[in-house]
Structure 1
Amino acid sequence: MDFNALTAAIAPLNLRSCLISRQGELQYEHYREARIPEEVAKVNSVTKSVLSALFCIALDQGLLPEPETPASVFFPRLAADRDARKGDITLAHLLTMSAGFDWTEFGGQNSFPRMTRAPHWIDFVLEQPLAHAPGTRMEYNSGASQMLSAVLAQAAGMPVARFADLHLFGPLGIERYEWEQDPQGVHTGGFGLRLLPGDMLKFGLLYQQQGKWENARLLSRDLLARSVKPAIAAKAPNRGRYAWHWWTDSFAESADGPNPPAPDYYYARGFGGQYIYIVPVQDTVVVLTADKWRTDKPPTDVFRRHIAPLLAGMR
């Protein structure tokens, strides 16, 4: 396979890294600088998809109740709130960003920055009013992710990073990483991980291989499939649908409307150009990382603009 055209296309974008694996083999590897493969870097909201994997592992182990369980089981103040709808929020609503909180991640209310400046992040999230009935609309919300991280730590009886070491990172051979914590010591559920590009690829390969790694099953096939199944329409200007802290989309021009096309791929996405794409039908995993968004922001969809056409030619 000739990747010369891709190299020429991404050269002006100043990407930090681009890795493409097909049928379990690394077929393309680009780094802006020789040191990058050995440097952990922020993956931002890709952290959410890692949290989703850990949540599935905990469900597999029976540490967590069914996703339809009310979140008030872990946060009793939701059931006691003056707005009775808060008692209807479930773990599944948190996973699909559809809890209904009046939340603007950036801009407007600047909910996310305000949370990170609060002395107690979980309390900040729980105090936010509802703008919609739970389950009716997606509103991107890293506070929901922080709630899920707190739930996982409580259910597992250990810090989230320790649970990851034992059941995800350790088996995948991910040894060099960093993970931020909130003021109460809860690992950040919506951001805060720093990973190597090669370790991001390992995580994507785990999903491409249906939860198996070196003949060991880390995630059950059924829960993995459930976690990446489109659950709710993504809020504009985003395309496609949202699953359990994963995005899903189609190669079709429009993924919107009441009858969207079946998703061709799903992906983890982090601010500033951090992506892990899984394309099951083509047995392909793509990792993209960037760090120049403040000065020369690359196109928002390098995958669809430059990589998807190559994949289409491989069919």
Structure 2
Amino acid sequence: MTPGRRLPIILLLVLAPLLSPLARAVVAPENRLDIEGFAGQARSLDRLHSVLVAVGGEPVLAEVLRGPDLDQPANIKSLSKTIMAALVGVAIERGVFEGTEQSIAEVVSIPPNADDGVREITVGNLLSMQAGLQRTSGEYYGIWVNSNHWVNHALTRPFVAEPGGEMLYSTGNYHILSAALTETTGRSTLALARSWLGEPLNITIPRWPRDPQGIYFGGNDMRLSPLALLAIGELYRNDGRHDGEQVLPQDWVDTSWQPRGVSRYTDDHYGYGWFVTQLNGHDAYYGRGYGGQMLYVVPSLSVTVVMTSDPSPPSSPSFTQRLDDLMERHILPAVERQAAAPDDTRD
């Protein structure tokens, strides 16, 4: 997709009818935002693989700096939580879950040695990282994923806060949701993701890792292409609609973007699978994965941005801040300039 990897024009003409509208728009990418030297600026971020920007649903910038092309799957790490949250929204709409206030004891098996307080945790508490249980991320991640039962391990962590209180970032919360979807429907999370999101959005969702019980990893290690992530972002930007179909419940986007807990690392708020912040003076919502897997939606500018990066450790937390800086210093100002330009300068 980058210079030197663009497809020959004859092949493009042959392939174009087979591609989705978004894929057709970026087959021969160009920097329509006219950000001077953007590729060089982006390339200086040595972990960054790709940047894809759409305004009003139309791709206006597509750069593959290194790594997979825009139509190839990449490990999106914890950005998987944003996808899982969308699945929970569909599950509520379809009556699989009663709602975000439903006790998790009604949708997933609770191990007998779990604290009685676990039954006070709601589906919404898991989504907002406010379950109150000791985390399974950070220093606790290794022992969790090396346990012989990920769900039971997550549910038997000691309480270190009240349910609904402090935000404690924990991938185990989302893995419990994956188990709940499988237990209540009798279908794998992969099958649900393909049926509820993949088919209506016309995106490919490959298999991703499972736990020892066969539950697909909730909240980590999904593989999606930048084009598929752009479709997810556009779905949220359009209030859950895609091509006239209401894929997500109509109110799920507002519900997901309502600030709840506060990240102790960034001070950004967290909703249901999305962080809530301000970028360049605009309300912005983003999903984030380890190493710099980013999905941004800025509704006031009709902007959706995907960035993928090297997912392998080590990665400094400051790298995500550098991606935010790329948004604030270059991408969003360019969109604002384009929006303010006279119509005869925008072809």
Of 216-225 and 21-30, more deviation after overlay is shown by 216-225
- Cα drift, residue 271 of structure 1: 0.2
- Is 1:299 the counterpart of 2:319 in the alignment? yes
The 3-state SS of whatever aligns with 2:169 is: coil
- Cα drift, residue 193 of structure 1: 0.5
Of 110-119 and 22-31, more deviation after overlay is shown by 110-119
- Cα drift, residue 295 of structure 1: 6.7
Per the alignment, residue 123 of structure 1 pairs with 152
- Is 1:181 the counterpart of 2:201 in the alignment? no
- Cα drift, residue 81 of structure 1: 5.8
Q: Deviations over 1:58-109 (max 9, x none)?
A: 111111112111112234537x667443221111111111111122611xxx
Is the contact between residue 292 and residue 323 of structure 2 (CA under 8 Å) also seen in structure 1? no
Is the contact between residue 208 and residue 223 of structure 2 (CA under 8 Å) also seen in structure 1? yes
Structure 2: tracts of 5 or more residues without a match: 1-32, 337-347
- Cα drift, residue 39 of structure 1: 2.9
Structure 1: tracts of 5 or more residues without a match: 254-262
Q: Could you tell me which of 245, 254, 267 is aligned with 2:273?
A: 245
Of 242-251 and 272-281, more deviation after overlay is shown by 242-251
Identity, % of aligned positions:
27
Q: Could you tell me which of 261, 270, 289 is aligned with 1:232?
A: 261
Per the alignment, residue 134 of structure 2 pairs with 102
The 3-state SS of whatever aligns with 1:167 is: helix
| Cα distance between partner residues in 2 of 1:266 and 1:52 | 14
- Is 1:40 the counterpart of 2:60 in the alignment? no
Is the contact between residue 230 and residue 306 of structure 2 (CA under 8 Å) also seen in structure 1? yes
Is the contact between residue 49 and residue 67 of structure 2 (CA under 8 Å) also seen in structure 1? no
Does the C-alpha gap of structure 1 residues 62 and 176 become closer, same or farther in structure 2, counting only changes over 3 Å? closer
- Cα drift, residue 23 of structure 1: 0.9
The amino acid across from 1:242 in the alignment is Y
Report the structure number with the largest CA radius of gyration: 2
TM-score if structure 1 supplies the norm length? Answer: 0.88
Alignment size in residue pairs: 301
The amino acid across from 2:123 in the alignment is L
Per the alignment, residue 74 of structure 1 pairs with 107
- Point out which structure has higher relative CO (alpha carbons under 8 A, 6+ apart): 1
Q: Could you tell me which of 275, 278, 296 is aligned with 2:294?
A: 275
Per the alignment, residue 328 of structure 2 pairs with 308
The amino acid across from 1:205 in the alignment is E
- Cα drift, residue 208 of structure 1: 1.1
Per the alignment, residue 211 of structure 1 pairs with 240
Does the C-alpha gap of structure 1 residues 43 and 123 become closer, same or farther in structure 2, counting only changes over 3 Å? same
TM-score if structure 2 supplies the norm length? Answer: 0.81
- Is 1:139 the counterpart of 2:171 in the alignment? no
- Is 1:288 the counterpart of 2:307 in the alignment? yes
